[in-house]
Chains A and B, each alone.
Chain A
Amino acid sequence: MANEVCFRTLEKSEAPWKIDEYRKLGGYEMLEKIIREQTPPDEIIEQVKISNLRGRGGAGFPTGLKWSFINRTTPEEKYVVCNSDEGEPGTFKDRDILRYNPHQLIEGMIICGYVIGGVAGYNYIRGEFVEPTRRFEAALEEARAAGYLGRNILGSGWDFDLHTHLGAGAYICGEETALLESIEGKKGQPRFKPPFPAQFGLFGKPTVINNTESFASVPMILSEGGEWFRDIGVENSGGPKLFSVSGNVNRPGNFEVPLGTPFSELLDMAGGMRDGRKLKAVIPGGSSAPVIPGDIMMDLNMDYDSIQNAGSMLGSGAVIVMDDTNCMVKVLDRISYFYYEESCGQCTPCREGTGWMHRVIHRIETGKGKPEDLDLLVDVAAKIAGRTICALGDAAALPVASFIQHYRDEFQYHIDHKKCMV
């Protein structure tokens, strides 16, 4: 069972991004039905809750519950925001939704707008995605022409429009409140929470913010039913999920498979290890997720609980596969540089700690490590985690702790012999 939700149209059409093709495959039927029958919003939220859809952007928060936090009765404007910033290293799935199935995302966002009584929505797309943005904007034009967006949608009296907002190169803008600041024309620095976006979101108004894949899953949840979606996955992990598999595999790419699929099967789909080499390590959920040694990974299933029980996170579903030619010190050196570069600088533990960690790892990598460095690193990492405004601090600390935990001998070798053991 593959390609059932976000990728369901990909093999059934030559040009699934066009509205006529999407409609031929049942697209927009759900939206039309909801508007025609004026389905009570609570019924829609109920189906999304039953589906066990958990946010696909990284944190895995239940989507139905998030939507229920909006107070529909306030007279304030309410907004829908989609997170297509896709900056978590290893992740490249939302780009394909934008390129190949933009209408399903649009339909999901309009349905969310209907549920909360929204006035408008924004899709925040990372600035480098120029070509995917053109696709998405062309789809918006088609949806507007068809009466699904704009004034008096399908004669219902409800006005709702969608726009894009482009990022300009800042990983932190994937964090939801930094993203909202960015749409407001400011530096992307995360806000203190609470208040949460459901109360104080975009332009200070109640806002639902979800990932691209989360929104694009909604039309199928409603047309096939929450239980259908839930039963594709396993307990606590409803539905299929897109996994972006990259690294030392023969056929890297995106695979939409049921949550709970064994990692070994996913690896087979990606063509197995390149050159028949040995699997050394896997980062299962984007570079913020702790690394898992290959032999442990081969026995795990790809769902939220299994990966969490193994000490890591499913995150955005970015699966980075490494073979035995990789030096773990070098990989961590690059990862720690990324967080140091991308820290927004608001909190001292994150701003200073990411710099410290990177400098120490880099000196180990370049043969200048000191005997006390490993304990120092573990100590600095522990002092960042949980002491910052946003989760970037944790995201920087967790990989460091896990790389040293699992590959301490490699780091030690670098320090003792001033060179790599791989």
Chain B
Amino acid sequence: MAVDKNTLFNEEIRAEIDSWIAKYPADWKQSACMPALTIVQESNGGWLTSELMDDVAAYLDMPPIAVYEVATFYSMYEHKPVGRHKICLCTNVSCLINNCDSIYEHLKNKLGIGFGEVTGDGRFSLKEVECLGACGGAPMMQIGDKYYENLTPEIVDSILEELD
């Protein structure tokens, strides 16, 4: 039985997904799958549940398996809870050369967690990422929308202090 799409998500999210659907040809609604996953992940504190993926599938008239495939292929989709601030540290070659290891050590000591973990209070999680296209500012990390470049342990401290 077809679901009533107006019961999925909320009005704001539906409108946002619709604005993406409008960018693609009428018979290519599934092109909005990636943006839809990003939007619902954001609304759920940064991670996806199977219910959310099923709802995206229903909303875009896609088989659920097709949505799971996409959601597990791309590394920015999370399938476990993440911290309120997801710290993504690049460890690729230019950052390696510029001693990202020392930044990782510092974050580990400061937060008491390693890559793939969340602090007990749910404030931070740490993630190792591949080159983020900001190698001129190595070592660097991303938190939320923002890139932080030319990191030193002191700079990392002041960045984290600013976050709630």
Query: Which residues does A use to contact B, with CB under 8 Å?
Result: 77, 86-92, 94-95, 122, 126-131, 163, 165-171, 182-188, 203, 244-248, 252-254, 283, 287, 318, 320, 322, 326, 330-331, 334-335, 338, 341-342
CB pair B147 A131 closer than 8 Å: yes
Q: Enumerate chain B residues within 8 angstroms of A89, measured Cβ to Cβ.
A: 92-94, 130-131, 135
Q: Is B33 an interface residue (CB 8 A)?
A: yes
Bound-complex Cα distance A95 to B34 (A): 21
Q: Say if the beta carbon of B122 comes within 8 Å of chain A.
A: no
B: contact size bracket: 35 or more
Please, which residue of chain B has its CB at the minimum distance from the CB of A84? B133
Mask of B126-140 contacts with A, CB within 8 angstroms, 1/0: 000111111111100
Query: Can you list 10 residue pairs at the A/B interface with Cβ under 8 Å?
Result: A91-B135, A92-B135, A130-B145, A165-B34, A167-B74, A169-B77, A203-B28, A246-B136, A331-B97, A334-B91
Instruction: Pick the residue among A185, A287, A335 that contacts B34 (CB under 8 A).
Output: A185
Say if the beta carbon of B142 comes within 8 Å of chain A: yes
Complex Cα distance, B66 from A128, in Å, reads 23
The answer on a CB contact under 8 Å between B131 and A90 is yes
In the complex with contacts A168-B34, A287-B93, A320-B94, A184-B75 CB distance below 8 A: no
Cα distance, A392 to B58, chains bound together (Å):
34
Q: Which residue of A lies closest to B34 (CB)?
A: A168
Contact A185 B74 (CB under 8 A): no
Known: A128-B133, A185-B31. A168 touches B76 (CB 8 A): yes
What's the least CB distance linking B137 to chain A, in Å?
8
CA distance A168 to B40 in the complex (A): 14
**A293 to B97 alpha-carbon distance, docked (Å):** 16
Q: Which residues of B contact A187 (CB under 8 A)?
A: 69-70, 73
B residues within 8 A CB of A129? Answer: 133
Query: Is the CB–CB distance between B96 and A338 below 8 Å?
Result: no
B110 touches A (CB below 8 Å): no
Q: Nearest 8 CB-CB pairs, A to B?
A: A168-B74, A169-B75, A185-B30, A169-B76, A89-B131, A246-B135, A185-B33, A130-B145
Given contacts A170-B73, A185-B62, A254-B136, 14 further A-B contacts (CB under 8 A): A86-B133, A87-B131, A88-B131, A165-B23, A169-B130, A185-B32, A185-B33, A203-B28, A248-B97, A252-B136, A253-B136, A320-B93, A334-B96, A342-B130
Bound Cα distance A17, B133 (Å): 20
Is the CB–CB distance between A188 and B73 below 8 Å? yes
CB within 8 Å of A: which B27-58 residues: 28, 30-35, 37-38
Please, which residues of chain A bring their CB within 8 A of the CB of B33? 185
- Expressed in whole angstroms, the minimum distance between the Cβ of A346 and any Cβ of chain B is 12
Q: Which residues of A contact B97 (CB under 8 A)?
A: 246-248, 320, 322, 326, 331
B116 CB–A CB distance under 8 Å: no
B25 touches A92 (CB 8 A): no
Q: Does B98 interact with chain A (Cβ within 8 Å)?
A: yes
Whether A186 lies near B96 (C-beta < 8 A) is no
Partner of A92, one of B60, B77, B88, B136: B136
Q: CA of A47 to CA of B73 in the docked complex: distance in angstroms?
A: 41
Given A90-B131, A185-B32, A185-B33, residue A168 in contact with residue B93 (CB < 8 A): no
Most buried by A among B23, B62, B88: B23
Q: How far is it, in angstroms, between the C-alpha of A220 and the C-alpha of B69 when the chains are bound?
A: 42
Query: Inside 8 A of B96's CB, which chain A residues have their CB?
Result: 330-331, 334
B91 to chain A, nearest CB (A): 7
Q: Does B80 contact A (CB under 8 A)?
A: no
Q: How far is the CB of B138 from chain A (nearest CB, A)?
A: 6
Residues of A within 8 A of B91 (CB): 334
Question: Chain B nearest CB: distance from A87 CB in Å?
Answer: 7
Assuming the A-B contacts A170-B73, A247-B97, A334-B91, are A182 and B34 also in contact, with contact meaning beta carbons closer than 8 angstroms in the complex?
yes
Contacts of A186 in B (CB 8 A): 30, 66, 69-70
B74 touches A170 (CB 8 A): yes
CB distance from B3 to the nearest CB of A (A): 19
Q: How far is the CB of A157 from chain B (nearest CB, A)?
A: 21
Beyond A127-B76, A184-B28, whether A95 also contacts B133 by CB under 8 A is: yes
The reply to whether A246 and B138 form a contact with Cβ atoms under 8 Å apart is yes
Q: Which A residues touch B93, using CB under 8 A?
A: 89-90, 283, 287, 320, 331, 334-335, 338
A245-B98 Cα distance, complex, nearest whole Å:
13
Min CB–CB distance B70 → chain A (angstroms): 6
Minimum C-beta distance from B81 to chain A (A) = 18
Given contacts A94-B133, A126-B133, contact A168 B28 (CB under 8 A): no
The distance from the CB of A88 to the nearest CB of chain B, in whole angstroms, is 8
CB-CB contacts below 8 Å: B90-144 with A: 91-94, 96-98, 129-138, 142
Assess whether B135 is in contact with A341, with CB atoms less than 8 Å apart: no
**Residues on the A chain within 8 Å of B75, using CB:** 168-170
Quick one: which of A131, A183, A188 contacts B31, CB cutoff 8 A?
Answer: A183
CB-contact partner of A95 in B94, B134, B146, under 8 A: B134
- Identify A184's interface contact among B30, B94, B132, B134, CB under 8 A: B30
